Amino acid sequence: MKTLKPVDWIPAQADDAVPGHLRILDQTLLPSETVFIETTDQEAIWHAIKILQVRGAPAIGVTAAMGVAAAAQDQRAGTIEDVRDAVDRAADYLATSRPTAVNLFWALDRMRRAAHASSAASGEALACELVREAIAVRDEDLAMCRAIGEHGAALLKDGDTVLTHCNAGGLATSGYGTALAPVYVAQEEGKRVSVYADETRPLLQGARLTTWELMEAGVDVTLICDNMAAQVMKEGRIDIVFVGADRIAANGDAANKIGTYGVALLAKAHGIPFYVLAPTSTIDPDAVTGAEIPIEERGAEEITEGFGRRTAPEAVKVYAPAFDVTPAELITGIITEDGVHNPGSLPL
Ligand code: MRU
């Protein structure tokens, strides 16, 4: 399967990871333009996460890890303490970019711990270790997504149709995605699987990204507006729902893109299995229930003048939560790299 990588570490020379820089695919411009941001600048990396040039919980985590690695690399001529200070500053700063996807904080903590636990002999050696750690975060994410795909594909029969919400595909991870990974694996196994993609108001990740990457991969995909999902289910067009997650609480409640909770209620009403697919790095054992998951609120303009045209009166009051929490009782199963779990008995 070949999709564009949402974020990667590009070494200046093929034989050594340091020096190198981040290459971020600007997803705000998809599907019409393919533009990459090449940077090591902390503000540019923060901004890329904030405005969703790179988005999707696992890809945000990989970007954050690489951002910290870039900060370490910039200090590599200094002492070990200089590099550790740079890591702490970068981790504190990048943590303020978006609140809901726990993979961001998971990756920042991992980089911070690696910096402080290292017995590297110099600033240069420590910076190299941290760049390798960030690359490992990327590679492990790819392996987890592949495993999620294999577990999920076992639930798909030849001819099945999946409904998905937002984009939890290759563009949201290091490859394969989470919710879309079973579709890609099933395709590799020779099963014919079709997808209905909710467009996902207000930022249209479903319309702009999910349809695009599935079409690139040759998967049969049909775009619907979010408010069509009930009718499409009632018409018997959907066999199974697969969605991703930004943070899963210890009791199995799962936060994902706004609208997911509604899809789960619809699936329940129509007797359609509803699965959440995510790597274990998306499980937050510190959040006992979904009520403890912070929900990002975004700017009103994303609703009132998304993509440049005003579609609501000036000064209208707007409420714009970017995520919602699906209660565990609406979730048939949570699929991680370890297998299919009952939402009430997650590997914590
Ligand atoms: O605001 P976004 O586009 O970052 O939201 C993305 C989602 O909600 C995804 O479903 C989730 O991060 C899982 S990505 C594998």
Q: Assess whether pLDDT exceeds 70 at residue 2.
A: no
Distance CA 152, CA 1 (A): 16
Superfamily of domain 7-146: translation initiation factor eif-2b, domain 1 (1.20.120.420)
Strand (E) or helix (H) holding 112 = helix 102-117
| Res 4: pLDDT | 82
User: Mind listing the pLDDT tens digit for each residue in 327-337?
Assistant: 999 999 999 99
Phi-psi region of 238 (alpha: psi -120 to 50; beta: other; left: phi over 0): beta
What's the pLDDT band for 119 if we cut at 50, 70, 90?
A: very high
Pocket probe for ligand 1: among 104, 205, 337, the residue whose CB has the most ligand atoms within 8 Å is 205
Ligand 1 contacts (CB < 6 A) are: 52, 55-58, 101, 166, 168, 172-173, 177-178, 205, 244-246, 256-257, 322
Q: Establish whether 284 is a catalytic residue.
A: no
pLDDT at 210: 98
The whole-number pLDDT of residue 68 equals 98
Beta bridge partners of 60: none
Cβ contact 247:292 at 8 Å? no
Rounded Cα gap, residues 45 and 7, in angstroms: 11
Q: Which of 74, 198, 246, 324 is catalytic?
A: 246
The pLDDT value recorded for residue 141 is 97
Measured from the Cβ of residue 127, the count of other Cβ atoms closer than 10 Å reads: 30
pLDDT band at residue 274 under the 50/70/90 scheme: very high
Domain 152-341 sits in CATH 3.40.50.10470: yes
- Residues 6 or more apart in contact with residue 251 via CB below 8 angstroms: 288, 289, 290, 328, 343, 344
Tokens of 294: 């912070």
Residue among 109, 97, 103, 3 at smallest CA distance from 57: 103
Under the banding of pLDDT at 50, 70 and 90, the label for residue 102 is very high
Looking at the predicted structure, is the pLDDT value of residue 248 above 90?
A: yes
Report CA(55)–ligand 1 centroid distance (Å). Answer: 6
Q: Nearest 5°: phi and psi at 192?
A: -90, 115
**3-class SS of residue 242:** strand
pLDDT on residue 347: 86
Distance in Å, CA 7 to ligand 1 centroid: 15
Which residues, including other chains, have CB under 8 Å from residue 317's CB and lie 6 or more apart? none
Identical fold, 7-146 and 152-341: no
pLDDT in tens, 147-200: 999 999 999 999 999 999 999 999 999 999 999 999 999 999 999 999 999 999
**Span 253-268, average pLDDT:** 98
Question: Per-residue pLDDT for 125 more than 90?
Answer: yes
**d(C-alpha 172, C-alpha 319), whole Å:** 25
Per the prediction, the chain carries an average pLDDT of: 97
pLDDT of residue 199: 98
In the predicted model, is pLDDT for residue 255 greater than 90? yes
pLDDT interval class at 113 (50, 70, 90): very high
Is the pLDDT at 312 greater than 80, yes or no? yes
Residue ranges of domains in the chain: 7-146, 152-341
Segment holding 200, helix H or strand E: none
CB burial of 59-83 (b: ≥16 within 10 Å; e: otherwise) equals bbbbbbbbbbbbbbbbbbebebebb
| Structure-token pair, residue 186 | 């099933």
Residue 255: CB atoms within 10 A of its CB come to: 30
